[in-house]
Structure 1
Amino acid sequence: MREVTLPTGERVPALGLGTWKMGEAPRQQAAEVAAVRQALEMGYRLIDTAEMYGEGGAETVVCQALAEALRAGTVARQDLFIVSKVYPHNASRAGVQAACERSLRRLGLDQLDLYLLHWRGGVPLADTLAGFAALQQRGLVRHWGVSNFDLDDLEELAALPGGAACAANQVYYSLSQRGIEFDVAPWQRQRRMPVMAYSPIDQGALAAQPGLDDIARRLQATPAQVALAWLLAQPGTMAIPKAVREVHLRENLAAADLTLSPDDLAQLDALFPPPRRKQPLAML
């Protein structure tokens, strides 16, 4: 598995499993638990979730899958990297701590490896940082970060006491959404702060992108794998595609082993040109 380096020097998997839209329908819970469990058996070690996903339902799905895998000896807790996120309206100094405690109960864990502010809200960033620092002091969170932050948000964050400790910024980033390459991604690379890419294959839309077929055939891969391999080849970039079906879980994992040639990369740049000016931050 490829890895990226956090600002602390810790190395974490570059490919993980996203859980957005899991935990929303009780009738689908068994299949979703099975999918997360299967992902762990295949070798996924990074799982991304949030209190927003299914209003805690996704965390409950992850809890059941983790508990089963840990009991079976499929994984050890120290080998996992579990990420969750706090709603902006819960991100006050006291609120972020209470929200984290609820997430940990739903996940059945004593500690999160990474805890993110899901997006900017009305709570001052300094208050959220104070809450994150308190969680670290209590041992409930190892790293903290942000999500859906544009460059001005990141600069404001970095200027605050303790702001330089931000471990990651999770944003919408894919072949079709390359706006962060103009400013956000270079800024983060200078600080060894990874980009966590959500919806890295546009919720599956890139799997049907005709222009990717030539490269996919050459590599004996799928268009979705090409799109994911391109993203994982970007410096300091992690990807967290959501998948439930076994075939997609396996395809996503195999994409991490694909190597794109300079000609492949040039062809992809022609199909999906990099930005030449500042663009609004893409969000879903």
Structure 2
Amino acid sequence: MNTDLDLPPVGLGTMGLDGDEGAAAVETALRAGYRHFDTAQVYENEATVGAGLAAALDGGGGDRDAVTVATKTWIDRLAPEDVRPSTEASLDRLGLDAVDLLYVHRPKGGYDPAGTLAAFDALVDDGLAGHVGVSNFDLDELDEAIDLLDAPLAAHQTEYHPLFRRPALREHAVDHGYPLVAYSPLAGGRVREVDAVRAVATKHDATPEAVSIAWLTGKEGVVTVPKASSEAHLRANLPAADLDLEPEDEARIDAVEREAELFPE
């Protein structure tokens, strides 16, 4: 790997987690063994995530140094002069001195490749961010970011599930030594409707959700961040990466032709 960021196969996506229930879900996740937590400014729940993490860490539920906390800078705060103050505001909401992974959420709005990425590099230099990632980039934008960043590109987060696959993005991640972080791995619950996923789940006496997670994490260079709020789902998703799919299972899901992108540009 070109980056020293070591992400576990399964982390927690937090979009939609909010309030006391959301904080409780984050606390439960950390106590259950999750070590990667993904949020974003536009989710408007950084304070919720921070509260859940603090409750678990203060109660002896984990070691902060072993936890990767990621957030994403929204498109209206990507102008070079806005990056630092918006990050400081995120840190205040999260209750952290530094965020482990800071993403450009989308290359839109105020995104100026040279200026924005230089501002992100400065945050790493000054200890406010541990690593720089990007999200929802295409291949040309990824190459440009790699060329412009001083720090190694630490991750690319993109929608990826049985109904929306972009193998070229995964290949780029492998070739350049950074992880592809697959969001919405359960396709908003639609994996339950996919015949190929259901068939593989039946074969392995598993749930379609577990199969979808295992299908993703079985691919070189891919980790994923399924969202869950209930303790049952949190505990079910975490070990799903240990489900051993056979090559024919993976090929069966790879061959799904139906496409459903949940978060188009």
* Deviations 1:127-167 (CA, angstroms, capped at 9, x unpaired): 111111111121110101110001121122233253x6211
Greater than 6 Å deviation, 4+ residue runs? none
| Correspondence for 1:236 | 221
Q: Tell whether the 8 Å contact from 1:51 to 1:59 is kept in structure 2 after alignment.
A: yes
Aligned pairs for 1:192-203 within 5 A: 192-203=177-188
TM-score with structure 1 length normalisation?
Answer: 0.87
* Deviations 1:94-147 (CA, angstroms, capped at 9, x unpaired): 211111100000000001110000001243111111111111121110101110
Aligned-partner residue type, residue 259 of structure 1: D
Gaps of 5+ in 2: none
Q: Secondary structure at the match of 1:241?
A: coil
The 1:129/1:269 distance shift into structure 2, 3 A limit, reads closer
Q: Tell whether the 8 Å contact from 1:150 to 1:281 is kept in structure 2 after alignment.
A: no
Q: Tell whether the 8 Å contact from 2:73 to 2:103 is kept in structure 1 after alignment.
A: yes
| Correspondence for 1:145 | 133
Aligned-partner residue type, residue 68 of structure 2: F
* Deviations 1:234-258 (CA, angstroms, capped at 9, x unpaired): 1111101111112211221121110
Q: Tell me which of 118, 134, 145 is aligned to 2:122.
A: 134
Q: Secondary structure at the match of 1:259?
A: coil
Q: Establish whether residue 107 from structure 1 lines up as the match of residue 77 from structure 2.
A: no
Q: Secondary structure at the match of 1:114?
A: strand
Aligned pairs for 1:39-78 within 5 A: 39-54=29-44, 58-78=45-65
Structure-1 separation of matches of 2:49 and 2:207: 28
Aligned-partner residue type, residue 97 of structure 1: R
Q: Determine what percentage of the aligned residue pairs are the same residue.
A: 39
| Correspondence for 1:160 | 148
Q: Secondary structure at the match of 1:168?
A: strand
Aligned-partner residue type, residue 148 of structure 1: N
Q: Tell me the matched-pair count.
A: 263
Q: Establish whether residue 8 from structure 1 lines up as the match of residue 9 from structure 2.
A: no
Q: Tell me which of 62, 65, 84 is aligned to 1:97.
A: 84
RMSD between aligned residues: 2.0
